[in-house]
Amino acid sequence: VQQQYISLNADIGEGYGAWTIGDDDGLLAVLSDVNIACGFHAGDPSIMRRRVDAAVAGGLGIGAHVAYPDLRGFGRRHIDVPPAQVYDDTIYQLGALQAVCIAAGGRVDYVKPHGALYHDAWTSEQIADAVVRAMRDVDPGLALLCPAGSAMARVAAAAGTRAVQEGYIDRGYLPDGHLVPRSQPGALIGDPEAAARRVLGVLTDGTVTAIDGTVVPLPVESLCVHSDSPGAAALARAVRNALEDHGVGVRPFGRG
Protein backbone atom coordinates (compact mmCIF):
# COMPACT_ATOMS: atom_id res chain seq x y z
CA VAL A 1 0.00 0.00 0.00
CA GLN A 2 1.07 3.53 -0.65
CA GLN A 3 1.96 5.70 2.31
CA GLN A 4 -0.57 8.51 2.82
CA TYR A 5 0.61 12.01 3.73
CA ILE A 6 -0.96 15.25 4.86
CA SER A 7 0.38 18.69 5.64
CA LEU A 8 -0.10 20.51 8.95
CA ASN A 9 0.12 24.31 8.80
CA ALA A 10 -0.24 27.27 11.15
CA ASP A 11 0.64 30.96 11.33
CA ILE A 12 3.91 31.86 12.99
CA GLY A 13 6.07 34.95 13.36
CA GLU A 14 3.10 37.08 14.35
CA GLY A 15 4.90 39.16 16.94
CA TYR A 16 6.14 42.68 16.26
CA GLY A 17 9.15 44.36 17.82
CA ALA A 18 9.02 43.63 21.56
CA TRP A 19 5.65 41.90 21.30
CA THR A 20 5.14 38.20 20.88
CA ILE A 21 2.05 36.09 20.32
CA GLY A 22 1.60 32.35 20.02
CA ASP A 23 3.94 29.46 20.80
CA ASP A 24 6.16 29.58 17.72
CA ASP A 25 8.73 27.16 19.09
CA GLY A 26 6.07 24.62 19.99
CA LEU A 27 4.45 24.93 16.58
CA LEU A 28 7.70 24.79 14.63
CA ALA A 29 8.36 21.40 16.26
CA VAL A 30 5.13 19.80 15.05
CA LEU A 31 4.07 21.47 11.78
CA SER A 32 5.13 20.64 8.24
CA ASP A 33 4.35 24.07 6.75
CA VAL A 34 4.49 27.52 8.32
CA ASN A 35 2.72 30.69 7.23
CA ILE A 36 5.11 33.50 8.08
CA ALA A 37 3.79 37.02 8.64
CA CYS A 38 5.37 39.54 6.26
CA GLY A 39 5.17 42.84 8.15
CA PHE A 40 1.72 44.13 7.18
CA HIS A 41 -0.39 42.63 9.98
CA ALA A 42 2.53 41.38 12.13
CA GLY A 43 6.10 40.22 11.73
CA ASP A 44 8.97 42.67 11.46
CA PRO A 45 12.08 41.86 9.35
CA SER A 46 14.01 40.54 12.39
CA ILE A 47 11.22 38.22 13.49
CA MET A 48 10.85 37.05 9.89
CA ARG A 49 14.53 36.16 9.76
CA ARG A 50 14.46 34.22 13.02
CA ARG A 51 11.39 32.21 12.01
CA VAL A 52 12.70 31.55 8.51
CA ASP A 53 16.01 30.33 9.98
CA ALA A 54 14.11 27.88 12.17
CA ALA A 55 11.84 26.74 9.35
CA VAL A 56 14.75 26.15 6.97
CA ALA A 57 16.66 24.26 9.69
CA GLY A 58 13.58 22.08 10.27
CA GLY A 59 12.96 21.40 6.60
CA LEU A 60 9.50 22.94 6.77
CA GLY A 61 7.51 24.39 3.90
CA ILE A 62 7.41 28.19 4.01
CA GLY A 63 4.45 30.34 3.05
CA ALA A 64 4.12 34.10 2.67
CA HIS A 65 1.27 35.09 4.95
CA VAL A 66 0.25 38.24 3.13
CA ALA A 67 -2.26 40.64 4.66
CA TYR A 68 -3.97 44.00 4.54
CA PRO A 69 -1.75 46.74 6.04
CA ASP A 70 -3.16 46.87 9.59
CA LEU A 71 -0.88 46.31 12.59
CA ARG A 72 -3.47 47.78 14.95
CA GLY A 73 -6.17 45.37 13.76
CA PHE A 74 -3.83 42.39 13.22
CA GLY A 75 -5.05 42.20 9.62
CA ARG A 76 -8.48 41.10 10.78
CA ARG A 77 -10.38 44.22 9.77
CA HIS A 78 -11.69 44.37 6.23
CA ILE A 79 -10.21 47.33 4.35
CA ASP A 80 -11.51 48.45 0.96
CA VAL A 81 -8.15 47.98 -0.74
CA PRO A 82 -8.65 48.17 -4.52
CA PRO A 83 -7.61 44.94 -6.28
CA ALA A 84 -4.72 46.72 -8.02
CA GLN A 85 -3.32 47.58 -4.59
CA VAL A 86 -3.89 44.04 -3.31
CA TYR A 87 -1.76 42.95 -6.27
CA ASP A 88 0.97 45.46 -5.39
CA ASP A 89 0.90 44.69 -1.67
CA THR A 90 1.08 40.94 -2.29
CA ILE A 91 4.16 41.35 -4.48
CA TYR A 92 5.83 43.56 -1.88
CA GLN A 93 5.26 41.19 1.04
CA LEU A 94 6.07 38.09 -0.97
CA GLY A 95 9.31 39.60 -2.22
CA ALA A 96 10.39 40.65 1.25
CA LEU A 97 9.94 37.09 2.54
CA GLN A 98 11.65 35.62 -0.52
CA ALA A 99 14.78 37.64 0.21
CA VAL A 100 14.75 36.56 3.85
CA CYS A 101 14.47 32.95 2.70
CA ILE A 102 17.25 33.27 0.13
CA ALA A 103 19.57 34.75 2.76
CA ALA A 104 18.74 31.75 4.97
CA GLY A 105 19.34 29.20 2.24
CA GLY A 106 15.64 28.45 1.70
CA ARG A 107 12.79 29.62 -0.47
CA VAL A 108 9.11 30.53 -0.34
CA ASP A 109 6.92 27.60 -1.34
CA TYR A 110 3.46 29.11 -1.23
CA VAL A 111 1.26 32.09 -0.42
CA LYS A 112 -1.56 32.12 2.11
CA PRO A 113 -3.59 35.31 2.59
CA HIS A 114 -4.22 36.26 6.22
CA GLY A 115 -7.26 37.35 8.18
CA ALA A 116 -9.63 39.71 6.42
CA LEU A 117 -7.76 39.28 3.13
CA TYR A 118 -8.20 35.51 3.42
CA HIS A 119 -11.90 35.94 4.01
CA ASP A 120 -12.30 38.46 1.18
CA ALA A 121 -10.37 36.26 -1.25
CA TRP A 122 -12.47 33.27 -0.11
CA THR A 123 -15.54 34.74 -1.78
CA SER A 124 -14.37 37.54 -4.10
CA GLU A 125 -12.98 36.45 -7.45
CA GLN A 126 -11.58 39.95 -7.96
CA ILE A 127 -9.51 39.86 -4.78
CA ALA A 128 -8.51 36.24 -5.38
CA ASP A 129 -7.41 37.18 -8.89
CA ALA A 130 -5.24 40.02 -7.59
CA VAL A 131 -3.45 37.63 -5.22
CA VAL A 132 -3.02 34.89 -7.81
CA ARG A 133 -1.71 37.23 -10.51
CA ALA A 134 0.78 38.72 -8.05
CA MET A 135 2.07 35.25 -7.15
CA ARG A 136 2.36 34.17 -10.76
CA ASP A 137 4.09 37.36 -11.85
CA VAL A 138 6.76 36.84 -9.18
CA ASP A 139 7.16 33.04 -9.27
CA PRO A 140 4.79 30.76 -11.24
CA GLY A 141 5.97 27.78 -9.18
CA LEU A 142 4.32 29.04 -6.00
CA ALA A 143 1.30 27.19 -4.62
CA LEU A 144 -1.69 28.90 -3.03
CA LEU A 145 -2.89 27.62 0.35
CA CYS A 146 -6.60 28.36 0.54
CA PRO A 147 -9.97 27.13 1.80
CA ALA A 148 -11.56 24.16 0.10
CA GLY A 149 -14.19 25.32 -2.37
CA SER A 150 -13.17 28.98 -2.31
CA ALA A 151 -12.94 31.62 -5.04
CA MET A 152 -9.18 31.46 -4.44
CA ALA A 153 -9.15 27.74 -5.29
CA ARG A 154 -11.15 28.31 -8.49
CA VAL A 155 -9.13 31.32 -9.65
CA ALA A 156 -5.83 29.59 -8.97
CA ALA A 157 -6.89 26.43 -10.83
CA ALA A 158 -8.03 28.46 -13.82
CA ALA A 159 -4.69 30.31 -13.89
CA GLY A 160 -2.62 27.15 -13.69
CA THR A 161 -1.53 27.73 -10.10
CA ARG A 162 -1.67 24.79 -7.72
CA ALA A 163 -4.39 25.39 -5.14
CA VAL A 164 -3.68 23.49 -1.93
CA GLN A 165 -7.01 23.27 -0.14
CA GLU A 166 -7.03 23.28 3.63
CA GLY A 167 -9.41 22.46 6.46
CA TYR A 168 -9.38 23.69 10.05
CA ILE A 169 -8.59 21.35 12.90
CA ASP A 170 -9.89 23.63 15.60
CA ARG A 171 -12.90 25.29 14.03
CA GLY A 172 -16.51 24.25 13.49
CA TYR A 173 -18.01 24.31 9.99
CA LEU A 174 -21.26 25.73 8.67
CA PRO A 175 -23.32 23.66 6.20
CA ASP A 176 -22.08 25.90 3.34
CA GLY A 177 -18.45 25.02 4.05
CA HIS A 178 -17.55 28.31 5.78
CA LEU A 179 -16.22 28.48 9.33
CA VAL A 180 -18.57 29.06 12.25
CA PRO A 181 -17.92 32.70 13.23
CA ARG A 182 -15.90 33.05 16.43
CA SER A 183 -18.80 34.84 18.09
CA GLN A 184 -21.07 31.78 17.80
CA PRO A 185 -21.22 28.53 19.78
CA GLY A 186 -19.40 25.65 18.11
CA ALA A 187 -16.80 27.95 16.60
CA LEU A 188 -13.84 26.49 18.45
CA ILE A 189 -12.82 22.87 18.91
CA GLY A 190 -10.35 22.73 21.78
CA ASP A 191 -10.42 19.04 22.70
CA PRO A 192 -7.48 17.23 21.10
CA GLU A 193 -9.39 13.90 20.99
CA ALA A 194 -12.33 15.43 19.17
CA ALA A 195 -10.03 17.27 16.82
CA ALA A 196 -8.05 14.14 15.99
CA ARG A 197 -11.23 12.10 15.36
CA ARG A 198 -12.53 14.76 13.04
CA VAL A 199 -9.28 14.99 11.14
CA LEU A 200 -9.23 11.23 10.54
CA GLY A 201 -12.76 11.51 9.18
CA VAL A 202 -11.67 14.24 6.81
CA LEU A 203 -8.82 12.07 5.55
CA THR A 204 -10.95 8.93 5.20
CA ASP A 205 -14.08 10.40 3.63
CA GLY A 206 -13.03 13.83 2.43
CA THR A 207 -15.92 15.26 4.45
CA VAL A 208 -16.57 17.04 7.71
CA THR A 209 -19.75 17.17 9.75
CA ALA A 210 -21.07 20.73 10.07
CA ILE A 211 -22.56 22.04 13.33
CA ASP A 212 -26.09 21.25 12.13
CA GLY A 213 -25.17 17.64 11.24
CA THR A 214 -24.86 18.21 7.51
CA VAL A 215 -22.02 16.27 5.90
CA VAL A 216 -19.91 18.76 3.97
CA PRO A 217 -17.27 17.78 1.39
CA LEU A 218 -13.80 18.90 2.54
CA PRO A 219 -11.17 17.61 0.11
CA VAL A 220 -7.98 18.89 1.72
CA GLU A 221 -4.23 18.56 1.31
CA SER A 222 -3.39 20.50 4.46
CA LEU A 223 -4.82 20.93 7.94
CA CYS A 224 -4.58 24.25 9.71
CA VAL A 225 -4.53 25.01 13.42
CA HIS A 226 -5.03 28.58 14.61
CA SER A 227 -1.82 29.54 16.32
CA ASP A 228 -3.47 32.03 18.65
CA SER A 229 -5.77 29.45 20.24
CA PRO A 230 -4.61 28.46 23.73
CA GLY A 231 -2.88 25.13 23.53
CA ALA A 232 -2.50 25.31 19.77
CA ALA A 233 0.81 23.44 19.77
CA ALA A 234 -0.56 20.70 22.03
CA LEU A 235 -3.61 20.36 19.81
CA ALA A 236 -1.43 20.11 16.72
CA ARG A 237 0.76 17.54 18.47
CA ALA A 238 -2.25 15.40 19.44
CA VAL A 239 -3.58 15.52 15.91
CA ARG A 240 -0.18 14.65 14.46
CA ASN A 241 0.16 11.70 16.84
CA ALA A 242 -3.30 10.42 15.92
CA LEU A 243 -2.48 10.74 12.23
CA GLU A 244 0.78 8.87 12.59
CA ASP A 245 -0.92 6.16 14.67
CA HIS A 246 -3.23 5.61 11.72
CA GLY A 247 -0.37 5.47 9.25
CA VAL A 248 -0.71 8.97 7.91
CA GLY A 249 2.59 10.84 7.66
CA VAL A 250 2.92 14.59 8.05
CA ARG A 251 5.06 16.40 5.50
CA PRO A 252 5.20 19.67 3.50
CA PHE A 253 2.87 19.72 0.52
CA GLY A 254 5.59 21.19 -1.69
CA ARG A 255 5.46 23.69 -4.52
CA GLY A 256 3.07 24.06 -7.49
Q: Given the complex with a second copy, which of 5 and 16 has the nearer CB atom?
A: 16
**Which one, 8 or 111, has the nearer CB to a second copy?**
111
- Residue 48 in contact with a second copy, rule: CB under 8 A: yes
Query: Is the separation of the CB atoms in 64 and 106 below 8 Å?
Result: no
Residue span 53-92 as binding mask against a second copy, x where in contact by CB under 8 A, dash where not: ----------------xxxxxx--xxxxx--xx--xx-xx
Q: Which of 29, 99, 211, 248 binds a second copy (CB under 8 A)?
A: 99
Question: Among residues 5, 29, 49, 214, which is the contact residue for a second copy, using CB under 8 A?
Answer: 49
Q: Give the phi and the psi of residue 13 in degrees, each rounded to 5.
A: 70, 30
d(CA 48, CA 246): 34
Mask: binding to a second copy, 126-145, rule CB under 8 A, as x and -? Answer: --------x--xxx------
Shortest spacing between CB 50 and a second copy, in angstroms: 9
Buried b (16+ CB within 10 A) or exposed e, 17-41: eeeebbbbebbbebbbbbbbbbbbb
What span, in angstroms and rounded, lies between the C-alpha atoms of 77 and 168?
A: 21
Determine, following the binding rule CB under 8 A, whether residue 177 of this chain makes contact with a second copy. Answer: no
For residue 141, the 8-state DSSP code is T
| Site membership for a second copy, residue 17 (CB under 8 A) | yes
Instruction: Answer yes or no whether residue 1 interacts with a second copy by CB under 8 A.
Output: no
C-beta closer to a second copy: residue 51 or 198 = 51
Considering just the CA atoms, what is the radius of gyration of the chain in Å?
17
Residues 111 and 64 sit within 8 Å (Cβ to Cβ): yes
Beta bridge mates, 208: 216
Number of residues that bind a second copy (CB under 8 A): 46
Burial of 242 (0-12, 13-18, 19+ CB in 10 A): middle
Residue 19 as a binder of a second copy (CB under 8 A): the answer is: yes
For a second copy, the binding residues (CB under 8 A) are 15-21, 39, 44-46, 48-49, 69-74, 77-81, 84-85, 88-89, 91-100, 102-103, 116, 134, 137-139, 228
